[in-house]
Structure 1
Amino acid sequence: MSEVFVGSFLSAMSTGLGALIILFIQGSITHRWRDTLLAFTAGIMMAASLLGLIPEALAQGEFITLVIGIFLGVLCLTLLETYIPHMDLEHSKSGIQFDEKAMLIIAAITLHNIPEGLSVGVSYASSASDTGNLIAFAIGLQNAPEGLLVALFLINQKINKFKAFILATLTGTIEIVTSILGFYLTSYVKFLVPYGLSFAAGAMLFIIYKELIPESHGDGNERTSTYAFIIGLLFMILLLEL
């Protein structure tokens, strides 16, 4: 239990770690750096899904279990994106611009973190001891740039840097609660473990292909982003090997 709490806490607080950058920078960040970071994160999450979650789900269940779980994960993210406002970034060479409706966007980002927290929790319930740590690491890396973008958005809404940092950090805290919920649910109802692992894989694959890759390819940085994706993929494979 202590391990899942520590893992989910560190993963969730990575949102604050990313937001912390705003206290030390003047103005905004370039799209090139943002795109590179998003693509690197996509590579990390891709390797975690394909080489961590999916093989473990197949080891503990059947192919049909994997299919059901993945589509449940995809469906969950699809419903969240369809019915809850999402923070879309305008692609612009001059920097990152955001739409309005500040608190609505913050609430949306917070709700979008629920499946990520569940993914971490069910990974710790797996019989493979390192799966939880690897998924917490992958989700944490994805949370860092998200925290930075949320904080930048809040600053753009005339909120001071410290308050923006605090609010951005709080959007990730829901992952701790949902992670513990996912852990207990799959720990006590064992047959749910392969479904939970597959759900986590589906949710991560949706985020990779629907969010991270398109957002890293909208500003003329496709080649740099492609290299960053491959480096992220290899980096996660190295961690799995070690």
Structure 2
Amino acid sequence: MSGVLLGSILSAMSTGFGALPILFIQGSITHRFRDTLLAFTAGIMMAASLLSLIPESLATGGYIQLVIGVFLGVMTLTIMERNIPHIDLGHTKSGIQFDEKALLIITAITLHNIPEGLSVGVSYASDTADTGNLIAFAIGLQNAPEGLLVALFLINQKIGKFTAFLIATLTGTIEIITGLLGFYLTSYIGFLVPYGLAFAAGAMLFIVYKELIPESHGDGNERTSTYSFIIGLLFMVILLEIL
């Protein structure tokens, strides 16, 4: 219980950690830096899905459970994407006033964190040691650039730096609740574990291919982002080998 709580808190608070630099920077952060960070995160999440979550799902269940779980994760994010307003945070050219539309966007970002929290929670329900810690680490890395981009978006709407930092941090807190929910569901209903691990893998793969990779290629930094993606993947492999 303490492990999943700590992991959920740390992964959720990574959103605020990522937004922290806005309190100190004077100028804007370059697209190259953001794209490199997003691609590195994509590599981390890809390795975590393919080398940890999917093998764990197969080991605790089987191929059928894996397929069902992956598609549930993908379909959940697909439905959310179609019904929740979305904005390309890293590459928006036109300003959006901080009105009802901006509030909808902030709400959308918060709701998009729900599957990530579930991914962390179900990973801690696995029998394999350190799976939860690895997934919490991977999700936390994904949350950091997300928090930075959210804060930058808010600053572009003439919101104060501290307020932007606070709002960006709060968008990640829902992951604590959903992390605990995912953990309890899979812990007390044992047959859900392989489905939950596969759900987490599907959700993460969707985020990688649909969000992180396209955003990291949005400003002509494809080659740099590709190198960063590979480095991130290899970095996660090293962590898996060490742990």
Query: Where do residues 82-97 of structure 1 align in structure 2 (5 Å cutoff)?
Result: 82-89=82-89, 91=91
2:17 equivalent to 1:17: yes
**Higher mean C-alpha displacement, 96-105 vs 207-216:** 96-105
In the other structure, the counterpart of 1:232 is: 232
What are the Cα deviations for residues 56-108 of structure 1, in whole angstroms up to 9, with x where unaligned? 0000001011000000000000011100001214647xxx7664522111100
**2:89–2:153: 8 Å Cα contact kept in structure 1?**
no
**Residue identity matched to 2:109:** I
Distance 1:17 1:97 in 2: 27
Q: Sort the Cα spacing of 1:97 and 1:28 in 2 relative to 1 into closer, same or farther, 3 A.
A: farther
Superposed counterparts of 1:174-189, under 5 Å: 174-189=174-189
Note the alpha carbon deviations across 1:23-80, whole angstroms, 9 max, x for none: 0111321110000000000000000000000000000001011000000000000011
Q: Which residue is 1:170 aligned to?
A: 170
* SS state at 2:78 partner: helix
Structure 2 gaps of 5+ residues are: none
- The one-letter amino acid paired with 1:180 is L
Q: Distance in 2 between matches of 1:65 and 1:111?
A: 26
The equivalent of 2:200 in structure 1 is 200
**Cα RMSD for the two superposed structures:** 1.2
Paired with 1:91 and 1:16, the residues of 2 have a C-alpha distance of: 21
- Deviation sequence 1:173-219 (CA, Å, 0-9, x none): 00000000000000000000000000000000000000000111121
Q: Which runs of 4+ in 1 moved over 3 A?
A: 89-92, 96-100
Unpaired runs of 5+ residues, structure 1, are none
Question: Is the 8 Å Cα contact of residues 89 and 149 (structure 2) preserved in structure 1?
Answer: no
Shift of residue 127, structure 1, vs aligned partner: 0.4
* Greater mean deviation of Cα atoms: 132-141 or 23-32: 23-32
- Give the whole-Å Cα distance in 1 for the aligned partners of 2:108 and 2:116: 14
User: Amino acid of the residue matched to residue 2 of structure 1?
Assistant: S
Distance 2:94 2:132 in 1: 35
> What TM-score, normalized by structure 1, do the two folds share?
0.96
Find out whether 1:56 has 2:56 as its counterpart: yes
Question: Which residue of the partner structure matches residue 34 of structure 2?
Answer: 34
Residue 158 of structure 1 aligns to a residue in which SS? Answer: coil
Letter in 2 for 1:115: P
Change (3 A) 1:73 1:29: same
Query: Residues 128-182 of structure 1, C-alpha deviation per residue, up to 9 Å, x if partnerless?
Result: 1110000000000000000001111111111100011011000000000000000
Count of paired positions: 239
Pair 1:217 & 2:198 matched:
no
Written as runs of structure 1 = structure 2, the 5 A alignment for 1:107-126 is 107-126=107-126
Could you tell me how far apart the structure 1 residues matched to 2:129 and 2:46 are? 20
Is 1:87–1:98's contact at 8 Å kept on the other side of the alignment?
A: no
1:46 counterpart = 2:55: no
Taking the TM superposition and a 5 Å limit, the aligned residue runs for 1:152-167 are 152-167=152-167
